[in-house]
Amino acid sequence: MRRYLRLVTSLPTLSVIYDDYELLDAEERYRLLIELGRELEPMPDPLKTDATKVRGCSASVWVYPTRLDDGRLHFLADSNAAITKGIVALVLAAVQDRAPREIAGTDIAAELAPFELGRQLSSNRTQGIPNMIALIRETAERLAA
């Protein structure tokens, strides 16, 4: 008997997001990112600690990894800035609810490359992305071992 697991996240896939994103002008892309950030499930305030804070971001960003019953990783995340929260959601769309080994083997930066975030957004909005990716990758590698 086959058992289907319900995904916890409501984030669309990166390809679905990109299908909309590529058709939009700069202002509409900002709105898309803001809407995407609103789709993140709420992160409880007690989890927003110094230990879960992503370093190097101009806005405050917190990422907290959890494990689903079947071993997949599910990340809770938040930011105090709407567009940054959308960027966080975009990063999570590349890895959410996947096995640690799969996440560790994913080139998240390459998955995000079509969005050309460096061209679309100011450098202070994107400067923390590599640190967030590193945190996610380190967590996945540690749990995959």
Residue numbers annotated as active site: 57
50: DSSP letter: T
pLDDT at residue 29 is higher than 70: yes
Q: Report the amino acid identity of residue 143.
A: L
Q: Between these two residues, 79 and 57, which has the higher pLDDT value?
A: 79
- 86-125 pLDDT, tens digit each: 999 999 999 999 999 999 999 999 999 999 988 877 777 7
CB 9 within 8 A of CB 97: yes
**How far, in Å, CA of 17 to CA of 1, rounded?**
33
- What SS3 class is residue 91? helix
Mean pLDDT of 50-61: 90
**5 pLDDT band (50/70/90 cuts)?**
very low
CB atoms within 10 A of CB 60: 14
CB atoms within 10 A of CB 49: 10
